[in-house]
Chain A
Amino acid sequence: MTSRAIQITKYLLAILFIYAGVYKISSVSLFASQMYQSPLLPSFFVPVIAIGLPIFEIVLGTLLIFFSKLEYTLLLISFSLMFFFSLYLIMLFTLYSKPPCSCGGILSQMSYPVHIGFNIFFTILSAMALYLHKGAKKRVVTD
């Protein structure tokens, strides 16, 4: 049961990362131009993120599906990334005048509160998967 929950979480995260990554890389100019409008990102950093982030998301999503040996590390990275995205959106929503979201596809269509809720849900999901993974590992050691 525990391992199935971890598997489902991994696949959900993988779908999310691959979808967002492919969408961003398929219209990389648009993605970059939206990030240039972000008051939080230094403009010299945007070209690096515009190429690096979608590739990172696609690689992470693919590894989540095919490399179960790295499960723990990948879940840690996924949690960290989702936590980063959630904080980033919360900062934009609370501190600035809400520039367009550059997540891409249907994610960009969400309002800020819904998008923040969506990200927090996936952050909690990856945290739970980490917790379950730790519990499962403990049980294996005990057995």
Chain B
Amino acid sequence: MKKNYLAVFFIPIFILAIFYFVPHNNKLRSNFNRKLISNKKVLAIDTIHLNAGEIVDGMVINKNNLWLNERYFFAYFDGDYKKNVIETEASSERSPIVNFYVENNHIYYLLANARMINVIAMKDTIRSRFDFSFPATYFIELNENSFLFQEATIGTATDRLHFKDFKHNHEFINDSLFSKETGSGIRYSGSWFASSEKTNFFFVPQYEEQILCFDSAGNLKYKFKPIDFQNQKLEVIKEGDRFYLSPQASVLRLGACASKNNLFVSSYVIAENQVKEDFNNYLTIDVYQIDNGKYKFSFYVPSLDDTKPLDFIISEDFFLFGLYKKSIVKYNLSNFLVNDK
């Protein structure tokens, strides 16, 4: 009897000890090195505390104001960090705001399951819209009245890019860049954003390997493999009417943005020359040359409450806003970015 009690007590401890000490094969290859800036150079200078239950689903900086997508409304902070709210018609769980941009005193935004871009003029809050006929998961404004959409019917169709110029009623479809595999939309989650001068438009995928750069006419300008390139096998699995990525697929990067001549891309792949503890306690951000994707250097952004930043954005005067679960922290990067050419 006593033996039984000892066995049920020690068997779990024994199994967990084996798990702990057995060498874990890291699926991601680390056969590259980073040029790391000392983490002491990233200085936190301010914190915006989020209310309990407040969810931020994306950030934009316009004229040094920080804008937040709070799923059903927009919030923006002026220079004194006073919070202002702009209401939208987004109301239910099924149609939150998917993504948005602020340009020339107008807010452009897309709601889930809606085939239109909504526009709010900030001056007089007059609302207008651009209708289109296809389902879209992301959009980016290329020029006035022309947009590039990531078109995807969730669960069934392939992903493709759809350029549409509403002013000249011109459109074209590019279905050669993304996989034609059914349900492949899930493979192409990622970030869309523009360079400061709005000459380069980027798509940085979470799982896929290549970063894409488009011109203002919606044509592919160049693509490149970032330094943490993995060549991981991505397989789409169907279960019922839902699609999943193969369980082995690892998120390689969450969040990216552009500022001045720099392209900033987060990375979840440790380099050969990185200390594991630093990598776990900080978000690694790789910096690339905006014109050609050439790697420049990397830096760290600290974790808060054991969590790496969920997203980030960098202003033109090199302030980084890191989004955490309960707050947004402003960091000053000008120590090393202002002198960078």
- Scan A45-64; emit 1 where CB is below 8 A from any B CB, else 0: 11000100000000000000
Which one of A30, A76, A97 lies within 8 Å of B8 (CB-CB)? Answer: A76
CA of A36 to CA of B232, assembled, Å: 14
A residues near B9, Cβ cutoff 8 Å: 80, 83
Q: Is the interface of B mostly helix, strand, loop or mixed?
A: mixed
B residues near A91, Cβ cutoff 8 Å: 16, 20
In the complex, the answer to whether B8 meets A83 with C-beta atoms within 8 Å is: yes
B residues near A44, Cβ cutoff 8 Å: 25
Which one of B22, B244, B306 lies within 8 Å of A33 (CB-CB)? Answer: B244
Q: Is B280 an interface residue (CB 8 A)?
A: yes
Q: Is A115 an interface residue (CB 8 A)?
A: no
In the complex, the answer to whether B24 meets A43 with C-beta atoms within 8 Å is: yes
Distance (whole angstroms) from the CB of A95 to the closest CB of chain B: 8
Distance (whole angstroms) from the CB of B55 to the closest CB of chain A: 15
Q: Is the interface of A mostly helix, strand, loop or mixed?
A: helix
In the complex, the answer to whether B8 meets A80 with C-beta atoms within 8 Å is: yes
CA of A76 to CA of B24, assembled, Å: 30
How many contacts between A and B, using CB within 8 angstroms? 67
Q: Is B248 an interface residue (CB 8 A)?
A: yes
Within 8 A of A (CB), among B253-276: none
Which one of B13, B239, B244 lies within 8 Å of A87 (CB-CB)? Answer: B13
Take A36-B247, A97-B307, A98-B306 as given contacts and tell me if A87 and B25 are in contact as well, using a CB distance cutoff of 8 Å. Answer: no
Q: Is B85 an interface residue (CB 8 A)?
A: no
In the complex, the answer to whether A42 meets B22 with C-beta atoms within 8 Å is: yes
CA of A36 to CA of B16, assembled, Å: 16
Take A76-B4, A87-B13, A87-B16 as given contacts and tell me if A42 and B24 are in contact as well, using a CB distance cutoff of 8 Å. Answer: yes
Distance (whole angstroms) from the CB of A121 to the closest CB of chain B: 17
CA of A39 to CA of B247, assembled, Å: 14
Distance (whole angstroms) from the CB of A42 to the closest CB of chain B: 5
A residues lining the B interface (CB < 8 Å):
27-30, 32-33, 35-36, 39-46, 50, 76-77, 79-81, 83-84, 87-88, 91, 97-98, 134
